[in-house]
Structure 1
Amino acid sequence: MKKILSIITVFASLTFASCEDFLTEEVRGKQNLDTYFSTAEECQAYLTGCYQSITFGDWWQTNTVWLLSEMCSDDAWMGNTSQDQTDYISLAHYRGNGASNGVISNFWQYRYKGIARCNVAIDRIPNAGLEDAALQERLIAEARFLRGYFYFELARNFGGVPLLTHFMMPEEVIGIKRSSLEDTYKFIEDDLKAAAEILPKRSEYAPADLGRATSGAALGLLGKVYLYQEKWQEAHDVLQKLVKESGYSGEDSQTDEYDLLPEFGQVWDCNHDNSIESLFEVQYQYHESLGVGGSLSTVTGARNSGAALGDGWCWCQPTANLEAAYGEDDIRRQWTIISSGCTEIVGETAEDFAKILKDNKGTITDHAKLAEQYGWDPNCLIINPVAHKSGRIIRKYYIPLNDRPENFYQTKSPLNHRILRYADVLLMYAEACNELGDDTHAQAALNKVRNRVNLAPVTSTGTALRDAIRHERRLELAFEQNRLYDIRRWKDDSGTPLIASILGPNGSFVRWNTEEATRDPFEWNNQGEDSNKGISFDVNRDLIFPIPLYEITMSGGSIEQNPGWN
């Protein structure tokens, strides 16, 4: 019996029975694919499963690569030094041996499972014959948006991938090859453009449909896809339809649909889920008994530093290098990073911080000695130096005491995950304008983001403005799954990917963390994770992740590995 690759298994293992089932009697407990999709309710219920495919309801299917991308950049350490996290370290430290990595293997598999679900919807819903033809078209467009998003996630992590464009049986997939990156992006573009033409604007949805894909989300993601390919004019023209500062007033304008929230601290606040700033986010309906909700608050929370702080797993910790990059930008620094030595946590009341501090002091051995060692206020918060590479955790994912469910000490929380928001759109538009020589509109979009956090407007032009936009993206969008992909795609003045000047033996990040004059004492004192992270970065290998080895093996060689990976 031939071995077949896992994406074949994905397409054959949907929760439907095939019409070619060897049983003459319908399989009880399963729906028949040929008789499903006969009502609007069935079509909508199936599409809910396509949305659920964004995370598959837990932390290990896709959240892990979201965090891995941060660990592979200059923004985050792997973090957890009390447990073996080899799968993260092998890639985050660029050791060249990640092809058998379980983290990326899961991600690949579950992104294709999501694509399989979307393909069924795209194939079957057109034949549903719903009375509400507009609803039928919208559901297909939602599935195409999600499929485009899933393929984008694969493309920016692995390069060109096998394109499965419709529901396929296992024998149809045998021998499939990878498409080029150009063809993969073309397919994504087609899905997103088709979705944008059909999907309603955010304001046109009923309240009960809040969180569904919108035409604005499709345009925003399409703009990002163009940006990643350096299609500056296409990116500009798409993003212009969303940006107030663009002056665009065409019939397809959505410049009144989105805006920045008044305060940066509101962006990652569960009381501001689906805000005016949100183009698309993961919808989490927390339920303690059913064990549903988001996971990143727990996965990235402090470990062994006091239950009141969150009792987390401490994967993906902010670097001192990122914290230093904020400079005088105190607002975004405090709302992005919680640091050891702090005497408050923004968003916590003084009373609740006192509760956290009391628990923290009772948990951390030699709390007073550590505060003295690092020159901190004795009444400060300390993140356990034994278990953490960095004395920092991510504030964006942190849930304040007042917003926590009664039973918070599990892997679920009520905070939606922001995938695309208006500040990102503004900065992408600024980047496209700058690349096209339109520095006036680039400055306007950039300075709108800066104005929210009380920073002086940027007046520079040309290359200096380009660098200011890049810096702003790091500070504004930290831990929102942008940094690694930005530094991979950006070029320096010589045309070399920017990441090569940050990582590698002479990389600025490596030197910053290993030279005595700049290295952070807390991070240096815990070598459970090496401080020279990135020293073995290879620009000819490490601009994308390896294709999971089992895919190569099970395909019989029809799927080829990325250069430099075994």
Structure 2
Amino acid sequence: MKYFKKLLFVTLSAVVASSCKKLDLAPTNTFTELNFYTTSLNVNNALNNNYSGMYNSGMFFYNDAMSDNAYAPGGGATGNVTAVASGSYNSQLDKFLNDWSFHYSGINSCNLFLGNVDKNKTLDAATITRMKAEVRFIRAFHYFYLITHWGDVPLITTIISADESKTQSRASKATVLSFITTELEACAAVLPSKDQYSSADNGRITNGAALALEARVLLYQGNRMADVVTICEKLMNTSGTYGNYKLASDYNNLFSNTAVNKNNTETMLALQYQEGVTGRTWGDYYDFAPISVGARDNGMAPTQELVNDYIMLNGKPITDPTSGYNENNPYVNRDPRLTATIVYDQYKFLNPDGSTQIIYIKPGTDPNSNRPNEYRPAVQSVSSTGYYWHKYFDPNHLPALASGLNLHLIRWAEILLDYAEAENSLGQMNADVWNKTIMLLRQRAGFTDANALNYPGNADMTNLIRRERRVELAMEGTRTEDINRWKLSEIVLNGYAHGAKFSGDPTVDNGYIRAQLRRFDPAKNYLWPIPYNDLQKDANLIQNPGY
């Protein structure tokens, strides 16, 4: 991770010229817009700045709280995603302004880099070409998230003035989509593969990452499945050209073992962090863990709806009366990814020192009179659903559970899921596709029963693949977009998000906790409103319908 040891944020000094000098004459003792990029160190720092501004841990994790995977109680930034999930928001919600500003600030930073980097004459041409491709990828990444949540958005690809920023109109989603895919294809054509980078450059954007993002972009459109298949097959069948990717051997280690997390065969794109007190860390797990593990409180908890989608070891969903599921002993013989992802009642939590503690969550069961983890209605310091997160627990954490683990933005597992979904949507799912995708994911998860591993033939393959995607990628920031593109949000976000069977009233939802009442209006909520402040600044922006 040497390349990312320090992420330096850079700013350009204002050009100051005296009345007796030409306005385009740059001072020799300070950096200006004219000479900043002539220094190679500045170019590298500016590139690092674009990497660090691509995404952040809060956006990564709390995406799930806007879906049926999780519930986030409380106010502040957490309250924003709570409002989105409940449907009780308008264009003045901070979440929309913050995300819109985050992505357009990132785009502006990318445009500054691309518009100035050719002023450097000390870096070789191949290096500059590669750097430009990395930044073009990051810019495409920003635009992808903008069109995913807002549809039509302003398309800005050059440096513009502050006054020009107030006169931007929305380009059609189709136009921006074409720009994104064209950019990603161009990046894939010039970027090295993961295997061609040295260890010092581990974490850089690769040609494989460019194709992987393009596959996700096209998958989200719903009508480009043949193109998704083509891209996935290019990654799966072109040995070495785009990197030699495969599933890591252990699912849990991808998220909790430092060595595996940072250097494995599966990661295609990740937010880079560093271990140690001087490194770049994230601290969200401070509000995710069981209280007895060291958490401050509980800012986001898994839902019962997510727990229910983990199948039995025999491959059957818990709704199948022949599955062997026991509602009174609900966590046994389940998909091993459940235990890797979610902390449930009586969970055996492995501490960093190798000892084990039992996490008592069901009210009245903890022999410790302090009952640190037990569910207590209206007590925000403990889980509001009766579940905590285990995924991304860092055994080497710093105080306040700060972590230097990388956050996986795209994994090889997603390519297999993209491929399975696209082939199935085209009516081309068969045993061969199954064996290359779902079977491999289940084998890695720990399934051994032939009924879970073998191609199920005439099963409801659409829902099976969607369930597989949900549990494989839970807590990795993709669920909200998935239920939106499948047009499921109007179903799964209308009604209560539930927690464990701890409510004590069997006449209300069979005793399952009612965590949050949610409402989703399909006439408008599939797109977010343009932030109110931006509408006031730019008369050319037009609000999305219904807001």
Classify the TM-score, shorter chain: 0.7 to 0.9
Give the secondary-structure state (helix, strand or coil) at the position aligned to 2:455.
Answer: coil
Quote the residue 1:58 is aligned against: none
Aligned residue runs from structure 1 range 247-258, under 5 A: 248-249=237-238, 253-254=241-242, 257-258=244-245
Aligned residue runs from structure 1 range 246-395, under 5 A: 248-249=237-238, 253-254=241-242, 257-269=244-256, 270-272=258-260, 273-288=262-277, 290=278, 292-302=280-290, 305-306=291-292, 309-328=293-312, 329-339=334-344, 341-345=345-349, 347-348=350-351, 351-354=354-357, 370-371=364-365, 382-383=373-374, 385=376, 386-387=379-380, 388-395=383-390
Cα pair 1:236 1:433 within 8 Å, conserved: yes
Does structure 1 residue 121 correspond to structure 2 residue 109?
A: no
* Paired positions, count: 499
CA distance in 2, matches of 1:242, 1:125: 31
Quote the residue 1:6 is aligned against: none
Structure 1 length-normalised TM: 0.80
Letter in 2 for 1:544: L
Unaligned runs of 5+ in 2: 1-8, 313-333
Unaligned runs of 5+ in 1: 1-12, 56-61, 362-366, 491-496
Quote the residue 1:226 is aligned against: 218
Percent identical pairs in the alignment equals 25
Cα pair 1:74 1:509 within 8 Å, conserved: no
Aligned counterpart in structure 1 of residue 91 of structure 2, from 87, 94, 99: 99
Give the secondary-structure state (helix, strand or coil) at the position aligned to 1:280.
Answer: strand
Cα pair 2:289 2:390 within 8 Å, conserved: no
Quote the residue 2:50 is aligned against: 50
> Deviation at 1:327?
3.2
Structure 2 length-normalised TM: 0.82
> Deviation at 1:185?
1.3
Cα pair 2:54 2:106 within 8 Å, conserved: yes
> Deviation at 1:509?
7.6
CA distance in 2, matches of 1:551, 1:130: 40
Cα pair 1:192 1:222 within 8 Å, conserved: yes
1:549/1:344 CA distance change after superposition, 3 Å? same
Cα pair 2:251 2:340 within 8 Å, conserved: yes
Quote the residue 1:494 is aligned against: none
Aligned counterpart in structure 2 of residue 561 of structure 1, from 537, 543, 547: 543
Deviations 1:359-414 (A, max 9, x none): x89xxxxx996217xxx9999983553223112222112223xx223xx126x321
Aligned counterpart in structure 1 of residue 425 of structure 2, from 425, 435, 441: 435
1:109/1:301 CA distance change after superposition, 3 Å? farther
Quote the residue 1:38 is aligned against: 38
CA distance in 1, matches of 2:116, 2:421: 40
CA distance in 2, matches of 1:259, 1:380: 43
Letter in 1 for 2:433: A
CA distance in 2, matches of 1:380, 1:350: 22
Quote the residue 2:324 is aligned against: none
1:21/1:112 CA distance change after superposition, 3 Å? farther
> Deviation at 1:80?
4.4
Cα pair 1:383 1:392 within 8 Å, conserved: no
> Deviation at 1:523?
2.9
Cα pair 2:152 2:171 within 8 Å, conserved: yes
> Deviation at 1:33?
1.8
Give the secondary-structure state (helix, strand or coil) at the position aligned to 1:553.
Answer: helix
Letter in 2 for 1:137: T
**Alpha-carbon RMSD:** 3.3
Aligned residue runs from structure 1 range 453-468, under 5 A: 453-455=445-447, 456-460=452-456, 464-468=460-464
Does structure 1 residue 541 correspond to structure 2 residue 528?
A: no
CA distance in 1, matches of 2:199, 2:213: 23
Quote the residue 2:535 is aligned against: 552
CA distance in 2, matches of 1:155, 1:68: 19
CA distance in 1, matches of 2:185, 2:17: 37
Aligned counterpart in structure 2 of residue 148 of structure 1, from 140, 155, 159: 140
Cα pair 1:199 1:214 within 8 Å, conserved: yes
Letter in 1 for 2:265: I
CA distance in 1, matches of 2:74, 2:364: 19
CA distance in 1, matches of 2:28, 2:288: 42
Quote the residue 2:4 is aligned against: none
